Amino acid sequence: MSVTAPQGFEAAGVAVGLKSTGKPDVAVVVNRGPLKVAAAVFTSNRAKANPILWSQQVMHDGTVEAIVLNSGGANCFTGPFGFQTTHQTAEKAAELLEVSAGDILVCSTGLIGTGDEVFRSKVLEGTERGIAELSAEGGEAASLAIMTTDSVPKTSVHDGDGWKIGGMAKGAGMLAPGLATMLVVLTTDAVLAVDEADAHLRSATRVSFDRLDSDGCMSTNDQVSLLVSGASGVTPDPDAFRRALIEVCTDLAVQLQSDAEGASHDITIEVRGAATEDDAVEVGRSVARNNLFKAAIFGNDPNWGRVLAAIGTTGAAFDPYDVDVWMNGVRVCTAGGPDRPREEVDLTPRATSVLIDLRVGAESATIFTNDLTHDYVHENSAYSS
């Protein structure tokens, strides 16, 4: 049931023609309470879509009644008309739900730079129809409606001690930190205050969505929202809730990684032995964004020299001639030199692991990425066609 697994939530997904496929393209998620607490994190891209600009204003008081999401159009770089479209979407939802428009989050995903009266009318129609079809069983339909180039919906549910967390996500390209090109809605029926919800969400996204770096490209529309209904009446142990939220976010992030456009390998880069966690992240990301490394993995070539060359561009503390590297469990490099023969590394499975030991400290981090394939280039060369 995705976002409607926790108590206090209803959702819907409807098709209004924003997608040429005729598939669902507008989703609505409503928090029936009793709490209307929310937290959100947004893209760090300076170029922000109109729904992001609107939703950032909504989040000033930490109160959210509902969220409206559309696929089939990013509503980004569409000028005052685009912001008015977002505003009217919130007003339409508020009117039908009998709440304030200032408590309605709006999200959009799709092609940048397109938007007209037809787009606006379809989004408003989808908002109206979605609210009319709200139900406690509507979570799956909502998860389908937010898909763009995704091949499958992404959902996750965690059962806590008398409370639940539900989540849905979309994203298959432009996956890079600052949230990757994703829309994520998380829901919980636990009892949380605004500051608690915000702290938990930021802790979870920091080690999950912000560690997903599929292609190094940052979107304009990224948003991860957490809605809190408190309908269970249970105040969770803070550590237990934080761990559960990290689990759900990581599950969704890995699902996004596995559905990345054109990818043939899902690459998990673990960096350990770092002086600081930031160093570990920087080193892992340098490999994840190295096109020569990614091309090598696509070709099933365990070219560990590209790993060392990539990490050597960072400012992290380590001696490049005292680094160990494993690929799919085989130590191919030790102390900056060759170890086991490359022929021992099997890179034919989709799941690929790279372990880098910097041997200078006790900190670690994991980055999730993919290989660079012909299919990725083809799909993105014709994205707006």
Contact at 8 Å (CB) between 48 and 166? no
58-67, 252-261, 272-281: least confidently modelled range: 252-261
Active site residue 181: yes
Rg (CA), the chain: 21
Q: What is the mean pLDDT of the chain?
A: 93
Is pLDDT at 325 greater than 80 in this prediction? yes
pLDDT band at 173 (very low <50, low <70, confident <90, very high): low
The per-residue pLDDT for 130 is 98
pLDDT tens sequence across 201-235: 999 999 999 999 887 778 888 899 999 999 999 99
Residue 24 contacts residue 122 (beta carbons within 8 Å): no
Q: pLDDT tens across 300-310, in order?
A: 999 999 999 99
Q: For residues 80-90, give the mean pLDDT.
A: 96
% the chain with pLDDT above 70: 96
In the chain, the number of structural domains is 2
Q: 300 and 171, same structural domain?
A: no
For residues 102-115, average pLDDT: 92
Q: What is the pTM of this model?
A: 0.92
Q: What is the CATH classification number for the domain harbouring 336?
A: 3.10.20.340
Q: Where on the phi/psi map is residue 383: left (φ > 0), alpha (ψ -120 to 50), or beta?
A: alpha
The domain of 149 spans 2-258
**Is residue 35 packed enough to be buried (19+ CB in 10 Å), middle (13-18) or exposed (0-12)?**
buried
From the list 297, 214, 208, the residue with the least C-alpha distance to 257 is 214
> Which residue is catalytic, options 89, 109, 155, 181?
181
Query: What is the signed CA dihedral for 102, 103, 105, 106, rounded to 10 degrees?
Result: -50
* Whether 276 and 356 share a structural domain: yes
Last residue of a domain, one of 258, 281, 298: 258
Residue 176 pLDDT > 50:
no
How far is CA 281 from its chain centroid? 17
Question: In this model, does residue 179 exceed pLDDT 70?
Answer: no
Q: Do 331 and 280 have their domain in common?
A: yes
Same domain (yes/no): 134, 66:
yes
Predicted confidence at residue 263, as pLDDT, reads 86
Q: Are both 146 and 67 inside the same structural domain?
A: yes
Q: Both 305 and 247 in a single domain?
A: no
Q: Is the pLDDT at 383 greater than 60, yes or no?
A: no
- Residue given tokens 């806590």 in the structure block: 160
51 Cβ contact partners less than 8 Å away, ≥ 6 residues apart:
75, 86, 106, 107, 108, 221, 223
Strands (E) across the chain are located at 9-14, 26-31, 37-42, 66-71, 104-109, 154-159, 164-170, 183-188, 223-228, 266-274, 324-327, 330-334, 337-338, 351-357, 363-370
Task: Select the more confidently predicted residue: 133 or 43.
Answer: 133
Consecutive H or E run containing 242: helix 238-258
Residues 208 and 313 in one domain: no
Question: Pairing state of beta strands 26-31 and 66-71?
Answer: antiparallel
Q: Are residues 249 and 316 in the same domain?
A: no
Q: Do 249 and 344 reside in the same domain of the chain?
A: no
Which two structure tokens, joined as six digits, stand for 177? 């930190």
Q: Are residues 127 and 200 in the same domain?
A: yes
Q: Could you say which of 258, 290, 318 is where a domain stops?
A: 258
- Residue 289: pLDDT band with limits 50, 70, 90: very high
How confident is the model over 100-104, as a mean pLDDT?
98
What value does the mean pLDDT take over residues 26-47?
Answer: 95
**Tally of CB atoms within 10 A around 384:** 9
Same domain, yes or no: 241 and 178:
yes
Quick one: pLDDT band at residue 276, thresholds 50, 70, 90? very high
* Residue 190 to residues 36, 87, 196, Cα–Cα distance (Å): 12, 30, 11
Q: Work out the average pLDDT over 342-364.
A: 97
Rounded distance between C-alpha atoms, residue 235 and residue 240, angstroms: 11
* C-alpha distances out from residue 70 to 89, 129, 153, 167, 258, Å: 10, 13, 14, 17, 23
Task: Locate 289 and state its tokens.
Answer: 């964004």
Strands 337-338 and 104-109: unpaired
- For residue 125, the domain's CATH number is 3.60.70.12
For position 240, what pLDDT does the model report?
98
Quick check: helix, strand or coil at residue 166?
A: strand
**Phi, psi dihedral angles at 170 (to 5 degrees):** -135, 150
Q: Of 186, 205, 72, 74, give the one whose Cα is nearest residue 139.
A: 186
Average pLDDT for 345-351: 96
Instruction: Give the end of a domain, one of 258, 289, 315.
Output: 258
pLDDT at residue 172 in the model: 61
Contact 187, 161 (CB under 8 A): no
> Based on the domain organization, do 198 and 333 belong to the same domain?
no
Range 334-347 average pLDDT: 96
